[in-house]
A = this chain, B = another copy of it.
Amino acid sequence: MATIKDVAALSGVSVSTVSIILNGKAKDRKISVETQDKIMEAIKALNYRPSVSAKKLRSPNAKEYTIALYWASDFRTNYLARLISGFQSEISNYQYPINIVICPYRSGSLFLEKGLQSDHTFNAAIIANTSISDMEYLNNNLPKIPTVLYNRYSEQYNTVTIDNFEVGRKAAMLLINKGIKDNIGLVHFKAPYLAMTLRSQGFIDTCIKHSIQFSDENVINTEGSIQGGVLAAEIFLKRKHLPKAIFCDSDSLAQGLLHVFNKKNIKIPEDSQIIAVGLGSPEASQYSTPPLTVVEIPLEKMAAECLRLIINVLEHRTDTSFHVNYESKLIIRDSCS
- The CA of A121 and the CA of B53, in the complex, are separated in Å by 8
B residues within 8 A CB of A54? 53, 57
Task: Kindly specify which of A163-171, A210-218, A282-290 makes contact with the partner chain.
Answer: A282-290
Let me know if A287 and B256 touch, CB within 8 A. Answer: yes
Shortest A240–chain B CB gap in Å is 25
Q: Tally A residues with Cβ within 8 Å of B.
A: 67
- Residue from B53, B58, B80, B99 within 8 A of A101 (CB atoms): B99
Let me know if B227 and A283 touch, CB within 8 A. Answer: yes
Q: Which of A84, A118, A227 has the most CB of B within 10 A?
A: A84
Whether A13 is near chain B, meaning CB under 8 Å from some CB there, is no
- The CA of A111 and the CA of B83, in the complex, are separated in Å by 26
Whether A26 is near chain B, meaning CB under 8 Å from some CB there, is no
Let me know if A287 and B255 touch, CB within 8 A. Answer: yes
Shortest A62–chain B CB gap in Å is 9
- The CA of A63 and the CA of B51, in the complex, are separated in Å by 10
Contacting B at CB under 8 A, from A268-314, are 281, 283-284, 286-289, 291, 314
B residues within 8 A CB of A289? 258-259, 262-263, 288-289
Let me know if B316 and A281 touch, CB within 8 A. Answer: no
Let me know if A119 and B52 touch, CB within 8 A. Answer: yes
- Residue from B82, B118, B225 within 8 A of A283 (CB atoms): B225
Shortest A108–chain B CB gap in Å is 16
Given contacts A73-B88, A316-B43, contact A100 B101 (CB under 8 A): yes
Whether A202 is near chain B, meaning CB under 8 Å from some CB there, is no
- The CA of A286 and the CA of B256, in the complex, are separated in Å by 10
Let me know if B120 and A314 touch, CB within 8 A. Answer: no
Whether A141 is near chain B, meaning CB under 8 Å from some CB there, is no
B residues within 8 A CB of A33? none
Let me know if B78 and A47 touch, CB within 8 A. Answer: no
Whether A49 is near chain B, meaning CB under 8 Å from some CB there, is yes
Shortest A187–chain B CB gap in Å is 15
Whether A207 is near chain B, meaning CB under 8 Å from some CB there, is no
Let me know if A287 and B230 touch, CB within 8 A. Answer: yes
Let me know if B63 and A1 touch, CB within 8 A. Answer: yes
Other A-B pairs beyond A84-B102, A97-B121, 9, CB < 8 Å? A49-B315, A50-B119, A52-B53, A53-B53, A66-B101, A99-B101, A226-B286, A258-B289, A263-B289
The chain A residues found within 8 Å of chain B, CB to CB, are 1, 43-44, 47, 49-59, 61, 63, 66, 73, 77-78, 80-82, 84-85, 87-88, 91, 97, 99-104, 114-115, 118-123, 225-227, 229-230, 252, 255-256, 258-259, 262-263, 281, 283-284, 286-289, 291, 314-316
